[in-house]
Amino acid sequence: MNKDSIIFSSTLNYIITILLLIFSFIFLLTNENYLKDRELIDKYRPLFKVVDKQRHNINQEFKSFLKDMNYELYFDKDIKPILENKNKKLIFSRNRGKEVFKIFVIDDKNYLLFERPRVSFLIKDSESSSFSNSYYLVFVFFILFFVLTFLYIRTLKQLFPLKILKDKVINLGDEKFDFEIKSSGKNDEITILTKEFKNSAKKLKNIKESRNVFIRNIMHELKTPITKGKILLQLEQNEENSEKLKMVFNRLESLINEFATIEELISQNKILEKKSYFLEDLLDEAKDILMLEDSLVKNSYENIKLFVNFRLFSIAIKNLIDNAIKYSSSKSLEIKTIGDDILFINDGEKLKGDFQKYLEPFSIKTSNESFGLGLYIVFNILKANGYNLLYDYIDGKNIFTIKKDIKFTT
């Protein structure tokens, strides 16, 4: 065990505390027994002196005197059965020549034994009691012992998630983001720390997956202008082709800037600057990015105004247009508006599975089913601008709807 760990320190503190408790108990108990013995000696010292003076003249008057004081007197033949009791405990013993004085405790009663060469007698204290503070000491000791042990075990249970958390932090460096830590259901600092760590690991996992989606889509998006550039390089070099080649490089530069902006958006590091723009301007920008022919798009929309970030919103529209045409059986689409909603409609097969899965990273695994920048990124762009993305499939048509999020409606 690590000597610097909190669990080791807690265990060491518990052991030291228990040892101190035991030593204190032994000391107090020993001292209590000593004080009790001294108390008995002091109590019977006057009686001893009286008996010592009367030892040669034990008469009926003296017996009556003892009886009035609740003392019972036993002589030689009655003494032996009493002293043979196995529960007998010697408290005090004193020898003076051939005379012996002893104090015993037998069955919770005190007995005083006087022995002389020719005669012995025993005095029983009928009012004596063996009760002492020792019982309190034992009771308090066990109470403290169980309380300390309970607190120690409780502390270990609270600290145990820290040990698991330490292992998970180490694994986090190896990009092992998926783990489970059982929650105690309490609201202590360690439980809160555990929950926050799980949330942080989840965020790191999402960032990692977003990066992977981002890189995959960089390759996808760069493929089109690079292919066009290669074709232009093989053609005759004239002013028209040079201008087209220049447009390709401008497109590549634009894509790089777009990717930087999107990366910041996904990482939630950028506060968007939004202004009012006409839908037609946003659509024209999206078509220019795609280098798309106008004949492929049927326009059935009202030129409404939208309060958005121009560049990002154009990218989202561009990808919805690109995907709609790419996966359309007729290689075309219709854009229309219903109120403030913008609809992108194409002919084609219905999306497989739950649409919400398409809004998550890695929802589409194969390149043949990839959605360009991905609906995940499109969804996040729209969300950052205060819009939502909905999907319907009606009469053989896929309908993607950009709808104002009710939370952002004024």
Residue 169 lies in a domain: no
User: Count of CB atoms within 10 A of residue 63's CB?
Assistant: 13
Asked if residue 162 belongs to a domain, the reply is: no
Name residue, tokens 């063996």.
130
37 and 10 fall within a common domain: yes
Token output for 137: 């000491």
Domain match, 357 and 263 both: no
Domain contains 247 = yes
* Domain C-terminal end among 210, 241, 270: 270
**Are 232 and 288 members of one domain?**
no
Per-residue pLDDT, 404: 92
Residue closest to 372 by CA, chosen among 328, 304, 315: 315
What pLDDT score does 370 carry?
Answer: 45
Whether residues 229 and 193 share a domain: the answer is: yes
Q: What are phi and psi of 71, to 5 degrees?
A: -115, 140
Inside any domain, residue 300: yes
Single out the residue in 244, 270, 296 at which a domain terminates. Answer: 270
Residues 6+ apart with CB under 8 A from 303: 278, 279, 280
Residue 314's domain is classified under what CATH number?
A: 3.30.565.10
> What's the number of domains the chain is made of?
3
The pTM of the full predicted model, rounded to 2 decimals, is: 0.47
Residue 166 lies in a domain: no
Q: Are residues 21 and 122 in the same domain?
A: yes
Looking at the DSSP assignment, which residues form a beta bridge with residue 104?
90, 111
Q: Which two tokens stand for residue 273?
A: 């600057």
Same domain as 284, residue 266? no
Q: What confidence tens digit (pLDDT) does each residue in 74-97 have? A: 877 788 888 888 888 887 787 877
Tens of pLDDT along 190-231? 777 777 777 777 777 777 776 776 677 677 777 777 887 888
- Do 403 and 293 have their domain in common? yes
390 and 276 within one domain: yes
Q: Which domain holds residue 192?
A: 177-270
Residues 262 and 381 sit within 8 Å (Cβ to Cβ): yes
**Whole-number pLDDT of residue 408:** 56
In a domain, 381, yes or no: yes
Q: Is 280 among the domain residues?
A: yes
Same domain, residue pair 93 and 24 = yes
Residues 257 and 327 in one domain: no
Query: How many other CB atoms are there within 10 angstroms of residue 352's CB atom?
Result: 10
Asked if the structure places residue 277 within a domain, the reply is: yes
Q: Do 253 and 279 belong to one domain?
A: no
Using 50 as the pLDDT threshold, list the residues of the chain that sit under it: 362, 364-372, 410
